[in-house]
Amino acid sequence: MNDPREIQEILRSARTIAVVGASTNPFRASHSISQFLIESGYDVIPVNPNHPEVLGRRCYGSLLEIPADVAIDIVDVFRNSAAVAALVEPAIERKARFFWMQEGVVDPESARRLEAAGVGVAMDRCIMKDRVRQFR
């Protein structure tokens, strides 16, 4: 977890990021960071059952609603820590390569379950800050 080499590699090789908790509110971190990721060249897939669209992209109600032929490299979580456990099995089922818990999102047990299933994990980290730090 939080292995700098793994983080560097996933940020370099990833193409598709599912943003769980994506928001239409431009003042929320999930919105501005999603915009940053899009501008950085990633294909961002918003996930939030409360919105049909975020940043001009179709928004899905859950990870499992994303079409099966879409490979998810990173699941980026903007939900509270208590919501993380429910995302573990869907992320594993979707064969996500990496599971990113944003700053303030902490769930060590879920991190252990993900790593045991071969999914890399970043916890309590900002994907935008790591991306900027890596590519400046």
Query: What pLDDT shows up at residue 134?
Result: 83
Helix (H) / strand (E) element for 75: namely: strand 74-77
Query: What pLDDT shows up at residue 45?
Result: 98
Spell out the per-residue pLDDT of the chain, length 136, in tens.
889 999 999 999 999 999 999 999 999 999 999 999 999 999 999 999 999 999 999 999 999 999 999 999 999 999 999 999 999 999 999 999 999 999 999 999 999 999 999 999 999 999 999 999 887 6
Q: In angstroms, what CA-CA distances link 24 with 63, 90, 108, 129, 133? A: 18, 23, 29, 21, 26
Query: What pLDDT shows up at residue 37?
Result: 97
Alpha helices by DSSP H, 1-136: 4-13, 29-39, 85-93, 108-116, 127-134
| 3-state percent helix, strand, coil for the chain, nearest multiple of 5 | 40, 20, 40
Q: How many domains does the chain have?
A: 1
| CATH classification at residue 62 | 3.40.50.720
Q: What are phi and psi of 99, to 5 degrees?
A: -125, 120
Helix (H) / strand (E) element for 21: namely: none
Query: What pLDDT shows up at residue 1?
Result: 87
Phi-psi region of 113 (alpha: psi -120 to 50; beta: other; left: phi over 0): alpha
Query: What pLDDT shows up at residue 59?
Result: 98
Q: Which domain holds residue 113?
A: 4-134
Query: What pLDDT shows up at residue 17?
Result: 98
